[in-house]
Structure 1
Amino acid sequence: MGSAVERTDEHVREYLIYRGFTNTLKHLDSEIKADKEKGFRVDKIIDQLQLFVQSFDLCGLKEYWLYLDRRLFCRLEDVYRSTVNKLRTSLYRYYVINTIQKGNLEKTQEFFQKQASELQSQAEWRDWFILPFISTPEQNPTFSPYFSRQWADTFLVSLHNFLSVLFQCMPQPVLLSFDAEVQKMTSLTEENEQLRQLLFALQTETRDQRDGDEMVHHKLPPYVQNMDRLGDTELDLVSSQRAAIATTTPSRNFFSTFLPQGKRTPGKAAQAPPGFSPNQAAVGRKEPLSNQPIKSKEAVQAKEVKPASFQSLSSEPASSQSQQSTNQSANQGTNNNPRHKRIQDHEKERKELFSKPPQCSFQTPERKGEVAEAEPPTDTPSEPPDSSNSRNSGPGAEGGGLSAEQPFIILSQEEYGEHHSSIMHCRVDCSGRRVASLDVDGVIKVWSFNPIMQTKATIMSKSPLLSLEWATKPDRLLLLGSGVGTVRLYDTDAKKNLYEMNIDETHPRILSLACSPSGSSFVCSAAALSRSGSVESVPRLPIPVSGQLLLWDTKTVKQQLQFSLEPEPVAINCTAFNHNGNLLVTGAADGIIRLFDMQRYESAMSWRAHDGEVYSVEFSYDENTVFSVGEDGKFIQWNIHRCGVKQSEQVLPQDATGPFVLSGYSGYKQVQVPRGRLFAFDSEGQHVLTCSSSGGLIYRLTNGEPALDRVLLLGGHKAPVVTVDWCSAVDCGTCLTASMDGKIKLSTLLAQKC
């Protein structure tokens, strides 16, 4: 911190000189010279204290310590007061021992005379008043340890460490963070330059390798002409796979070249025409390069057809495939054991190469003007093509697979494991820099994930916490709703509570918080205790409890008004603003969605949406509709211009809507009622992220039936996911999925167009 202060002082002096504020500059220089904190340099403070001790300046020593106490030590918590008192006692003893070692007994007696009234009541100084009257105190067993060099060094190191930690934990002004931001930007710039050079080197190496492979493909050695059919088939597999990747990978998706082999998406090979055999392909490849005319890119793609070993992936029936493989085995001779082993190895390599489905469909021109369509993805080589329709069924169908088109590529997946119990809320702030997560034990972690995953603050609460929400302006503030009727405004940078608001004693459970986009106010949903008297230990009873919906002013920290909830006051489970804060949508425990006009502060419309409670509501991307998830397991889209009119409806699995159940050994079972966000949209509102038993699940919104098309399973969890969030503030979207075992998965996605 001391180096940052010195650099900041230099920047301020440079600015004052540039502006011509010479008088201000003179006052600044004079105050810097008289600065008792020495620019927060701990070594300078220790040197000043030692100067007072060596010069026997007791008054200066006491005055300087009192200044440090008023300026720094008094702001500490009470638990650190005993440490401060021990350091002051050691400092005075260090002074007294120095007077005796230097033979200045007058200063020793002067110390006890001036400090007698203060020290005589302290037990640790009771034996020290006899010190001036002992002839050889360094040999006395009571005082001999204090005359050693080891004790003096230990005291100075302890004082140095205490001041260093104190300065590091002090809340710093924004101006002091300028130096850290400059260093961070410099390091990021250097890292980006290194990655850019690495990218160019890899692209050049890939291009050279591809050119070399093409040369090897056309200019084969003489002995290759005598290779058997199996050797030609293996060569054709590798070359066709490389050509398919080169022709089907879009040029704009250059990030895919950096993905691990397991995450790359192979392209589809073109379908072979009927009657085309691998012998014909091998004969065509054995022609010299000089005899082949220059072909266009389309002709080269048409030339790369599927050999006989691809028949298990084609659309032919399984019977014809088995017959063809039998004929091939008969031609090659099945009595040769080494040959049979090579065939098995070849089939194993072929399955590994073509086990992953391609990203998007494409068409490749074939000979004679025919067009071959891309094949549907298959899970097993012998699966008929008609089974692809069952895999693209809705999310409610069991065993439904992913869609053929993959709109996202998973660039990375990291895990945050600082929580030790089930997560209730997990939200990203508006800037996309920090994440706040709350578990059932009331522990809140504020952490960042860019450039590295790092915990910034830990908030412990004696009272149970039920809700959490980021403020919009400034985005460093956090709203925390408790189970005892209070809402706290917490500063994540200063790591302290700014305000604590008492909402209502009769409705102590703060179920939901939503901050307006302007940041001037926030909505608070308060509910009475459940019939069992517990906060969140068991699922809620079918009878909705009473509740209130309140609007609070963030600046004045006062309640502005209470919304009218018709037909009766009920607990509001979820709230959400639109982009400008003119509309507020709420979902309640009675299954009713209410839409409020925030300019008039009155209800615009309401309708019964679900059989049971409404767990989560959100505005659509165009804000003409509202999406909701309820206790009945339905994901419904509502038209806000026509009250109570459904635009689409989809039944979700139970592991996406709750209640969430985690089972363990000896009949252990943990049940958690949905509390956080159950679904989240991407930046364009075309895809939605939901919960599942093994990770996040992404659907594509459709206008037909079914309303949701399953496209990507993020996975990575061993316990049910209970809340999700999708941040699109950065170039690559970031999906957050939090589970009942306290693990949070952070998946970075790259959108691609098919």
Structure 2
Amino acid sequence: MGSAVERTDEHVREYLIYRGFTNALKHLDSDIKADKEKGFRVDKIIDQLQQFILTFDLFSLKEYWLYLDRRLFCRLEDIYRSTVNKLRTSLFRYYIINTIQKGNLEKTQEFFQKQALELQTQAEWRDWFVLPFVPNPEQNPFFSPYFSRQWADTFLVSLHNFLSVLFQCMHILQLGRDRDGSVQHKLPPYVQNMDRLGDTELDLVSSQRASSAATTPSRNFFSTFLPQAKRTPIKPALVSSGSSPSQTTADVLNNRVNRSFKCLTFYTTEPLCLTSVCLSLFGVVGQTPEKKVEVGDAEPTETSGDPPDSSSSRSCGAGGGLSAEQPFIKLSQEEYGEHHSAIMHCRVDSSGRRVASLDVDGVIKVWSFNPMMQTKATIMSKSPLLSLEWATKPDRLLLLGSGVGTVRLYDTEAKKNLYEMNIDETHPRILSLASSPSGSSFICSAAALGQSGNLESSPRLPIPVSGQLLLWDTKTVKQQLQFSLEPEPVAINCTAFNHNGNLLVTGAADGVIRLFDMQRYESAMSWRAHDGEVYSVEFSYDENTVFSVGEDGKFIQWNIHRCGVKQSEQGLPQDATGPFVLSGYSGYKQVQVPRGRLFAFDSEGQHILTCSSSGGLIYRLTNGQPALDRVLSLGGHKAPVVTVDWCSAVDCGTCLTASMDGKIKLSTLLAQKS
């Protein structure tokens, strides 16, 4: 609903500008700026609440929640009043915890003084009045769960989901009149009749997540490198068309409600029954499967009736059966617009707290998006930068590769360079960096200049240029060794470690994939993978295979236990593999070769995020079939997306898509577990 309101506002603005109604336009802008409902943008409402909390503005926090209650919550039926009350209780607890964590005990005491008359009669607050007098409350068994980031994230996601469902269903809500004549919103009937889950069912789900079957270990030397408890991706079961509509709907509702709880992690100390309402609402949204993309197809057409940038969520149905289940729901999409030129790299760190983005002008932005979008550091470089990677330990360090043979180690918290390493004058272009999972070393790929001698005039030549693959020690800041590249020294475009750093996979300009044994520091195998350059490589979820994208537009899965054997092969459109083209007026054309990651996996390894001309596309991996099963178009971009990343630190993951106009979109997804 938020996007529809935003589009309507924009149309009204265009009309007023066209008619020359400048005064009306000023009033419109003023009213939009003062709009407390934020155009029904859930992310903006959450940001406003968090801003009041971070600034210790208790009065404004209470007033804003009271406004939401009068404007929205009071129009819900009485059965949802307990849910709203628990959200309000959690919001105030979030405020108190923040005052203690920030060391502002004066605000803690102020809260209890001003709220005492209201809260002293409420049982859920009975034990909280001693909080200002408890030494080290974060270590107290009763209060400690509330000081964890897990509790805060759970509350924020739950509030986000509740508001999202409310706004999503407003356009189909049945309207009734109460005795006072005011409009009262009714949520769909199946929600009213559902059994709301109790507090005891909001347990941690880590034991359930860990109970998946382990894959059979391999019988060769690679088995020592592979994880012992990887889960095998399983496709979600579809609704049987032979079942009766009523029985199918009831069964699916019950299954989806149970599965939805696996998408979030809850503490039993904070009952949030709203999830039985909001996640079940998300689960029964009528959705239409996306079209499969056949090998060699151009950009696939959207399903009828849906714009290219729409979420896979559809309107809540008023009854009847359910269509095939979609694996993700797009909860929100935000934009980071601090760059003023095309993005080359955009990577989230291992903790999921920070993002580093690099544009073609050599400007690096380090920023966070949780709890709100905020730039942490801006790094300017006099020399051209070509590569970027986060260190794994400590994760605040950033590796920056230049076009003049240097690699910088930058501390994003202290905002200063720690070291600058001179790699090799004969191979000045640092094309790829990869940090070992142990954090003790990193891989550096260096390449010679093009034949013209220019750094960027011919970044990827038809005839591969010479290159080196080097291992550097992060602590001593010294080169440890140089790998042998057979059959000839060639520029390595992309590198990736497996989970424990025992294996390294590389993709080169000669189309060859090389797999290195990092315990023996030697090549284990190599094979020609693509006609043309290899642009991006990654290990699969179970690490028994490797995926690659090449200049030939192919997306291929390789068995690492049988050299050069394809597990599957699919074709991707050119806007997913590059070179990327941005056209403008008067024949203007900008061409950018692939630099950053071209695809990324979700936390289960079942789905892949790729680039496209208008935003990220998510496909379901199809195990050898000659097509990728497209499940969601993230959209939102006006220029080609050139690199992607998928932060899966929590199940409600964030997809990062960066484009040639310098815009980066953060799409928050809710995973529906099978």
TM range (shorter): 0.5 to 0.7
Amino acid at match of 2:456: E
Deviations for 1:53-96, whole angstroms, at most 9, x for unmatched residues?
xxxxxxxxxxxxxxxxxxxxxxxxxxxxxxxxxxxxxxxxxxxx
> Offset at 1:212?
10
Amino acid at match of 2:573: P
> Offset at 1:532?
2.4
Is the contact made by 2:292 and 2:628 (CA closer than 8 Å) also made in structure 1?
A: no
Is the contact made by 2:392 and 2:436 (CA closer than 8 Å) also made in structure 1?
A: yes
- Please give the alpha-carbon distance, in whole angstroms, between the structure 2 residues aligned to 1:736 and 1:197: 23
Q: Give the TM-score of the pair, scaled to structure 2.
A: 0.58
Deviations for 1:546-589, whole angstroms, at most 9, x for unmatched residues?
00000001111110000000000000000000001000000000
- Please give the alpha-carbon distance, in whole angstroms, between the structure 2 residues aligned to 1:186 and 1:496: 30
Question: Is 1:683 the equivalent of 2:583?
Answer: no
Larger radius of gyration between Structure 1 and Structure 2: 1
Q: Paired residue for 1:645? A: 565
Deviations for 1:323-349, whole angstroms, at most 9, x for unmatched residues?
xxxxxxxxxxxxxxxxxxxxxxxxxxx
Question: Is 1:563 the equivalent of 2:563?
Answer: no
Q: Paired residue for 1:618? A: 538
Is the contact made by 1:394 and 1:710 (CA closer than 8 Å) also made in structure 2?
A: no
- Please give the alpha-carbon distance, in whole angstroms, between the structure 2 residues aligned to 1:508 and 1:299: 62
Q: Paired residue for 1:454? A: 374
Question: Is 1:512 the equivalent of 2:463?
Answer: no
Question: Is 1:470 the equivalent of 2:370?
Answer: no
Amino acid at match of 1:696: G
- Please give the alpha-carbon distance, in whole angstroms, between the structure 2 residues aligned to 1:604 and 1:648: 22
Q: Give the TM-score of the pair, scaled to structure 1.
A: 0.52
Higher relative contact order (CA 8 A, sep 6+): 2
Is the contact made by 1:538 and 1:672 (CA closer than 8 Å) also made in structure 2?
A: no
> Offset at 1:427?
0.3
Deviations for 1:350-391, whole angstroms, at most 9, x for unmatched residues?
xxxxxxxx99899xxxxxxxxxxx9x94xxxxxxxxxx8x93
Amino acid at match of 2:465: V
Deviations for 1:593-639, whole angstroms, at most 9, x for unmatched residues?
00000011000000000000000000000000000000000000000
Is the contact made by 1:392 and 1:400 (CA closer than 8 Å) also made in structure 2?
A: no
Q: Paired residue for 1:744? A: 664
Amino acid at match of 1:599: Q
Amino acid at match of 2:664: I
Q: Paired residue for 2:645? A: 725
> Offset at 1:684?
0.7
Residues 693 and 551 from structure 1, CA distance in 2 versus in 1: closer, same or farther, beyond 3 angstroms?
same
- Please give the alpha-carbon distance, in whole angstroms, between the structure 2 residues aligned to 1:493 and 1:617: 30
Q: Paired residue for 1:712? A: 632
Question: Is 1:549 the equivalent of 2:469?
Answer: yes
Question: Is 1:630 the equivalent of 2:530?
Answer: no
- Please give the alpha-carbon distance, in whole angstroms, between the structure 2 residues aligned to 1:483 and 1:299: 60
- Please give the alpha-carbon distance, in whole angstroms, between the structure 1 residues aligned to 2:510 and 2:528: 8
Residues 451 and 602 from structure 1, CA distance in 2 versus in 1: closer, same or farther, beyond 3 angstroms?
same
Match of residue 419, structure 2, among 480, 499, 502 = 499
> Offset at 1:753?
3.3
Residues 622 and 665 from structure 1, CA distance in 2 versus in 1: closer, same or farther, beyond 3 angstroms?
same
- Listed as ranges, the gaps of 5+ residues in structure 1 are 1-177, 217-237, 256-266, 274-295, 303-357, 363-373, 378-387
The alignment's C-alpha RMSD in Å is: 4.4
The alignment partner of 1:481 has SS state of strand
> Offset at 1:411?
1.1
Residues 454 and 592 from structure 1, CA distance in 2 versus in 1: closer, same or farther, beyond 3 angstroms?
same
Q: Paired residue for 2:620? A: 700
| Number of corresponding residues | 437
Question: Is 1:665 the equivalent of 2:665?
Answer: no
- Please give the alpha-carbon distance, in whole angstroms, between the structure 1 residues aligned to 2:549 and 2:446: 21
Residues 659 and 392 from structure 1, CA distance in 2 versus in 1: closer, same or farther, beyond 3 angstroms?
closer
- Listed as ranges, the gaps of 5+ residues in structure 2 are 1-137, 139-143, 179-184, 203-237, 252-280, 304-311, 313-323
Question: Is 1:532 the equivalent of 2:452?
Answer: yes
Amino acid at match of 1:433: R
- Please give the alpha-carbon distance, in whole angstroms, between the structure 1 residues aligned to 2:551 and 2:249: 56
The alignment partner of 1:666 has SS state of helix
Is the contact made by 2:536 and 2:550 (CA closer than 8 Å) also made in structure 1?
A: yes
> Offset at 1:405?
3.3
- Please give the alpha-carbon distance, in whole angstroms, between the structure 1 residues aligned to 2:152 and 2:356: 30
The alignment partner of 1:656 has SS state of helix
The alignment partner of 2:586 has SS state of helix
Question: Is 1:489 the equivalent of 2:409?
Answer: yes
The alignment partner of 2:576 has SS state of helix
Q: Paired residue for 1:521? A: 441
Identity of aligned residues (%): 77
Deviates further, 743-752 or 702-711 = 702-711
Deviations for 1:626-664, whole angstroms, at most 9, x for unmatched residues?
000000000000000000000100010000000000001
The alignment partner of 1:680 has SS state of strand
Question: Is 1:415 the equivalent of 2:335?
Answer: yes
Amino acid at match of 1:490: Y
Match of residue 654, structure 1, among 574, 584, 607 = 574
> Offset at 1:533?
2.1
The alignment partner of 2:590 has SS state of strand
Match of residue 397, structure 1, among 297, 306, 313 = 297
Amino acid at match of 1:391: K
- Please give the alpha-carbon distance, in whole angstroms, between the structure 1 residues aligned to 2:159 and 2:609: 35
- Please give the alpha-carbon distance, in whole angstroms, between the structure 1 residues aligned to 2:167 and 2:461: 64
Match of residue 355, structure 2, among 418, 424, 435 = 435
- Please give the alpha-carbon distance, in whole angstroms, between the structure 1 residues aligned to 2:494 and 2:529: 14
The alignment partner of 1:671 has SS state of strand
Say which structure is richer in helix: 1
Moved over 6 A (4+): 186-207, 210-216, 244-252, 270-273, 299-302, 358-362
